[in-house]
Amino acid sequence: MAEALRVPTMQEYAAEGKMPEVLFWVGCSCSFDDRAKRITKAFAKLLNKAKVDFAVLGTEESCTGDPAKRAGNEFLFQMQAKMNIEVLNGYGIKKIVTACPHCFNTIKNEYPELGGEYEVTHHTQFLAYLLESGRLKVEGGKFKGKRITYHDPCYLGRANDEYEASRDLLKRLEVELVEMEDSKKNSLCCGAGGAQFFKEPEKGDEEVSELRIKQAQDTKAETIVTGCPFCNTMLADGMSKQKTGEDMSIEDVVELIAAAQDI
């Protein structure tokens, strides 16, 4: 019988006068989007397996304000950010991990000037730490030799210069990792950044998500892997609109790591 998923809240920790090792900032997409919820569950299962003492804010967590800021509404961004910072500081939070590069970038780089100073880690970085410290182990298993290509999320890559954590995790799965024509610093945006996710695209010959899918298909890989729920959604949308190439599965890095663990 599968072990019950344990996801405690900060309220529960505070009631016992305890502090978790890390706060898992879930984010709007990974909280409410049905597809992205699978990323949340996979990461929580791995945290449980590695015996990481973590907590979530639950209903006390609000949007980081990233979409508002990217759309030009600085006032709304600061309102949301200050509300979150008040909650985080009230609990004395020091370390945060999140599966969303948008949340990662905003809390890490934009909250400090508003009074929110935290050590912020992306879930791929945290998984790499768990593996290197021996708290989590993974072998290729079902993914060994599979041809996989990786899409770099903008807010993880170009915005924060993190390109290797995801690739190192994939190499641990012993996959055949093939790069797209544009990767790392030259990677194409999926089309969601800058609050573009929340509006219709401008008129043109082709959406950037469709172009990115063509680049992925050119690698002849079976699967596109990314580390961002927004990228996941945009790539799936691009895949649904393409008419000539072969369909490819689209997964988050953490989903492959969890699947390799059979959890």
Is 10-131's fold the same as 138-260's? yes
SS3 content of the chain, % helix, strand, coil (to 5): 50, 10, 40
pLDDT in tens, 158-188: 999 999 999 999 999 999 999 999 999 999 8
By percentage, how much of the chain surpasses pLDDT 90?
79
Map 128-194 to HEC letters.
Answer: HHHHHCCCCCCCCHHHCCCEEEECCCCCCCCCCCCCHHHHHHHHHCCCEECCCCCCHHHCCCCCCCC
pTM passes above 0.75: yes
Q: What is the pLDDT of residue 104?
A: 98
Band (240; pLDDT cuts 50, 70, 90): confident
Q: Count of H helices and E strands in the chain?
A: 11, 8
CATH of 138-260, one of 3.40.50, 3.40.720, 1.25.40, 3.30.230: 3.40.50
pLDDT in tens, 182-237: 999 999 898 777 666 666 777 767 788 888 999 999 999 999 999 999 999 989 98
Q: Write down the mean pLDDT value for the chain.
A: 92
Q: What is the pLDDT of residue 171?
A: 92
Q: What is the pLDDT of residue 206?
A: 74
Residue 262 is given by DSSP the state T
| Alpha helices in 27-113, H assignment, sequence order | 28-32, 34-49, 66-70, 74-91, 101-109
**In the chain, where the domains are located:** 10-131, 138-260
Q: Once rounded to an integer, what is the mean pLDDT over residues 140-151? A: 89
pLDDT in tens, 13-26: 999 999 999 999 99
pLDDT in tens, 51-95: 999 999 999 999 999 999 998 999 999 999 999 999 999 999 999
Q: What is the pLDDT of residue 196?
A: 66
Q: What is the pLDDT of residue 1?
A: 32
pLDDT in tens, 96-130: 999 999 999 999 999 999 999 999 999 999 999 99
To the question of domain 10-131 being in CATH 3.40.50, the answer is yes
Highest mean pLDDT among 39-53, 198-212, 245-259: 39-53
Q: What is the pLDDT of residue 3?
A: 56
